[in-house]
Amino acid sequence: METKTIKVSKKNYQWLCQEAGKLQEKEKRNVSIDETLSKMHERMTVKFSDLAGLWEMNEEEADKILMEIRKGWKNWTIESV
């Protein structure tokens, strides 16, 4: 594996170390800064479709959201280019 050196502020380094510590607690093993960054990158690249079905709501909440969306659609206009 090729490695690179990067400069980060003290504040960002401390934050990154805290994130690595949280991951170590979760994984119950030693975790490198590089692995921490990789895991964070994975979380950032989640597709919207990966979230399908994760949000639980009742019919009343769903109806309210749909009503708000429809209200917003009424205000949209298509501008010709």
pLDDT of residue 50: 76
d(CA 8, CA 64): 45
The domains of the chain are located at: 10-75
Two tokens, residue 55:
């949000």
Alpha-carbon span 29 to 32, nearest angstrom = 10
Q: What tokens were used for 35?
A: 């692995």
Cα–Cα dist 18/21, whole Å: 5
Q: Give the pLDDT of residue 26.
A: 94
User: pLDDT of the chain along its 81 residues, tens only?
Assistant: 788 999 999 999 999 999 999 999 999 999 999 999 999 988 887 777 877 778 788 999 999 999 999 998 888 877 766
pLDDT of residue 81: 62
In order of 20, 55, 57, the CA distances from 64 in angstroms are 40, 15, 11
